[in-house]
Structure 1
Amino acid sequence: MLKKSLLARMLAGAATLAAVGVVAGAMPSSAAAPSYSYKCWGTSKDHCTVAVQAPKGWKFTQLDRDQAKFTKGSTEMLRVDGIYAKVSPKTQVARKTAELKKVPGLKILSLSNGVTPSEITWNNPKVVFYDVKYTYRDGARGQRVVTTRYADTLDGGNHALVELTVGGRAQDQAELDLVLRKATQTVTLVG
């Protein structure tokens, strides 16, 4: 009798887990990993100065020689700028944080830093970066959450060579974190 009762509970538990798995599988994931492709831009059509892997399907807009942005509708954005700063990523993030304090309604969420492997074989094998994550209210788009990252792709943390920024709504953060990670690992200054 005890064996039948235990077996019945095990089968009922397995059926419940299977049903939860089906429901969870059917629900959309806010952290679904986008697919990526390389994009480069620079001084002319046949010479690029900055290259990065960005999400496929996001609209590309070159802002100037070393800066471009990728947008997904009006809610999500990745901006990449080859800034070639002569100061460290840590110093550059401190400067950015000071500038941000002038923004009405700004709230600094975090300051962080890290090291991640580079996927670019001719760069330094590791990218050193410093971040400032903040939120503010945009009149047209509502509350925005932004992470600005200063990265050194060549010199081990001595120079903020690239500024990477992702922004979107709070519910976009899982995808934007993936986009920022991929951009950090694949961004390179070519020329």
Structure 2
Amino acid sequence: MLTPRHQALLMTLAGMTVGVAVFGTVLAINGNGDDDHRATDVVTSQTPSTSTPRGDGLQAESLQYTAQTFGTDRAPVTAEVPATWRAGQDGERPRFLDPTGVWQIRFDTRGSSKSPERQVSDRERSIKEQDLKVLSRDNGTLVYTYVDRVRGPRMGLSRWISTDNGDSSAIEITVGGRPQDEAALSAVLERATKSLQLPDSSSRPN
């Protein structure tokens, strides 16, 4: 039979055991909380994306040009186009595209008895794209926007050039891209126009 002294000793030991267990439990809980806090720090400290916004337009000052010759052997035509744009087809209706396929310039060297002004009117009526908006139609140049079902908003600039004071059209130049590329597309069209060399070497567009 336990004496009062022995009973007091056992109760003291039991109290110490419970205290150690509770302390261990608190440490375990605090340890799990620290792990969660560290995991949260890892997630929130990730480096944000630095991808370039898709809305950025083509920059005219970034373009370099090279001369391309096309047409036929008997009637060659030369014009300067952006150096990185590659020929998608040649001959009398060549087309040059940038590597991404977003921008392009094409030529039609077959000529027409129609005046540039008539060509502008006919092209305007022939475009069947969604949400067509004609921005200008001056001096034999048609500028327009539309929505492509696959590529979204697009812009086109088509110019017809005459070598007989506007009675007929010798060549068509069309550039295409997106509305935000308008300044660069205009620069590409102007560069092609000013560098154009037609079969009659004495004739250059004004």
TM-score strictly above 0.5: yes
Q: 1:186 Cα shift?
A: 1.8
Superposed displacement of residue 151, structure 1: 1.0
**Do the aligned residues in 2 keep the contact of 1:79 with 1:166 (CA within 8 Å)?**
yes
Greater RCO (Cα-Cα under 8 Å, separation 6 or more): 1
- How many pairs does the alignment contain? 143
CA contact (8 A) 2:129 2:147 kept: no
Report the Cα offset of residue 33 of structure 1.
5.2
- Give 1:141 shift: 1.4
2:136 is matched by which residue type in structure 1?
S
Match of residue 61, structure 2, among 26, 29, 32: 32
Mapped contact 1:83–1:160 kept (Cα < 8 A): no
8 Å CA contact retained: 1:50, 1:188: yes
- 2:123 corresponding residue in structure 1: 96
Structure with higher helix content: 2
Closer/same/farther in 2, CA of residues 29 and 59 from structure 1, 3 Å limit? closer
> What is the deviation of 1:60?
1.3
Deviation of 1:67 (Å): 0.9
Residue 181 (1) aligns with residue 153 (2): no
- Give CA deviations for 1:1-40 in whole Å, capped at 9, x if unaligned: xxxxxxxxxxxxxxxxxxxxxxxxxxx9833152211111
**Structure with the larger strand share:** 1
Structure 1, unaligned runs of 5 or more:
1-27, 114-129
Task: State the AA in 2 paired with 1:31.
Answer: A
Q: Is the 8 A contact 1:33 1:178 kept in 2?
A: no
TM superposition shift of 1:42:
3.2
1:134 to 141, 144, 169: 144
2:129 and 2:148 in contact (8 A); partners too? no
Query: Structure 2: which amino acid aligns with 1:133?
Result: V
Q: What is the one-letter code of the residue matched to 1:181?
A: E
In structure 2, the residue matched to 1:59 is: 86
In 2, distance between residues paired with 1:98 and 1:69? Answer: 23
Amino acid of the structure 1 residue aligned with 2:86: K
Q: Distance in 2 between matches of 1:104 and 1:140?
A: 11
